[in-house]
Amino acid sequence: MFSFAEIKEAEARIRPYINHTPLIPLENLDSVLGCRVCVKLENLQVTGAFKMRGAMNKILSLPEEQLKRGVVCASSGNHGKAVAYSAKMLGIPATVVIPETAPAIKVEAIRALGAEVVQCEVSERFRIAAEIRDRKGAALIPPYDDELIMAGQGTAGLEIAEQEPDLDAVIVPVSGGGLIGGVSEAIRNLAPGMKVYGAEPALLPRYSRSLEAGQRVQVPSSKTIADALVSSMPGEVCFPVVQKNVDQVFDVDEEFVLKGMKLLLTEGKILAEPSSCIGIGAVLQGLVPVEKEMSVCFLISGGSVGLSQLAQLETV
């Protein structure tokens, strides 16, 4: 069973390779969000997203022999970038399988890191990654459904609890559950009174449905502006951890994801990708039980966004 000890091990293992990211107050957002606002800036993580934590932890745990044959992953972008960069840091080969629907900025970033990129239809990505694993003998680095990945992501929660132990709540973007699984485990152990909330696209309510049903439920796949949060089912390894630790997962409408992104950029002066702003969207949509004196930390999970994507915020 996944435990806090794995997160502490991950922390020691990945420390030389990752940024200890800032957690700062954004007081200018307090009145509009109705609480004391903090942000944990994983958009300032190496490669621009928290994914580096899990990928590096997983890769550093591979046997020496395996490392030489390299790594492969299937990813909508940030995980692929993290695997590519980790491989580059360690001097091993990497292949990244990317859906054709991913933003060009993410694909280019991965190529620039020296990884081989294979593009395919979104539904084919895991099959093709497995094929490459078999053909090359490369290690498959899963995006979330793995204890070592979850432990790596959990180091962000460990930092939050150390940086601001008196927070009332943390709100975490949710897809497969690797980030919120790890973060919630760290916070349950270090700051048991702190609420841990998740925020997922209302178009892909895999966690709210599954938590309600008491078991993993698959929802129809769907396109969302939160393009890093596209899994249609909770991870098998992640789900019981989330079920045990997380207070509630909110389903956020597309419109509020963009409103959150706009607020964070125009008033908070922080650039983050839409997926990262879904927690702020959840509060703007009135879903989260916040109060004026509550300190709430929004985990800003990544910053992969092109300048050309910002024009759409004008009309939100």
**How is 93-149 classified by DSSP, letter by letter?**
-EEEEEETTS-HHHHHHHHHTT-EEEEE-GGGHHHHHHHHHHHH-PEE--SSSSHHH
Among 43, 75, 184, 210, binds a second copy (CB under 8 A): 43
CB of 44 to a second copy, least distance (A): 6
Site for a second copy in 275-294 (CB under 8 A): none
CB 115 within 8 A of CB 136: no
Residue of 82, 238, 270, 277 that binds a second copy (CB under 8 A): 270
CA atoms within 13 A on the CB side of 162: 12
Query: Which of 210, 203, 218 is closest to 251 using CA atoms?
Result: 203
- CB 308 to a second copy: min, Å: 7
The span from the CA of 116 to the CA of 142, in Å, is 17
Cβ 34 to a second copy shortest distance, Å: 18
Between 18 and 92, CB nearer to a second copy:
18
**CA–CA gap between residue 126 and residue 168 (Å, rounded):** 38
Q: How far is the CB of 102 from a second copy (least distance, A)?
A: 18
Distance CA 19, CA 14 (A): 10
Q: What is the DSSP letter of 201?
A: E
Q: Per CB under 8 A, does 28 bind a second copy?
A: yes
The CA distance from 13 to 56, in Å, is 9
Contact call for residue 314 and a second copy (CB under 8 A): yes
Nearest residue (CB) to a second copy, 211 versus 261: 261
Whole-angstrom distance, CA of residue 49 vs CA of residue 110: 13
Task: List the one residue from 48, 182, 235, 274 that touches a second copy (CB under 8 A).
Answer: 48
**Residue from 8, 9, 44, 190 in contact with a second copy (CB under 8 A):** 44
311 binds a second copy (CB under 8 A): yes
Residue 35: how many other CB atoms lie within 10 Å: 20
Among 77, 157, 235, 303, binds a second copy (CB under 8 A): 303
Are 54 and 153 spatial neighbours (Cβ–Cβ below 8 Å)?
A: yes
- Check binding of 22 to a second copy (CB under 8 A): yes
Q: What is the smallest separation between the CB atom of 262 and a second copy, expressed in angstroms?
A: 8
Looking at the Cβ atoms of 160 and 219, the one nearer to a second copy is 160
By CB under 8 A, name the one of 120, 130, 140, 313 that touches a second copy.
Answer: 313
Determine the 3-state secondary structure of 196 from DSSP.
Answer: strand
Q: Which of 3, 5, 19, 223 binds a second copy (CB under 8 A)?
A: 19
Q: Compare residues 61 and 309 and give the one whose CB is closer to a second copy.
A: 309
Kindly list the residues in this chain that would bind a second copy in the complex (CB under 8 A).
19, 22, 24-28, 41, 43-44, 46, 48, 265-266, 268-272, 303, 307-308, 310-311, 313-314
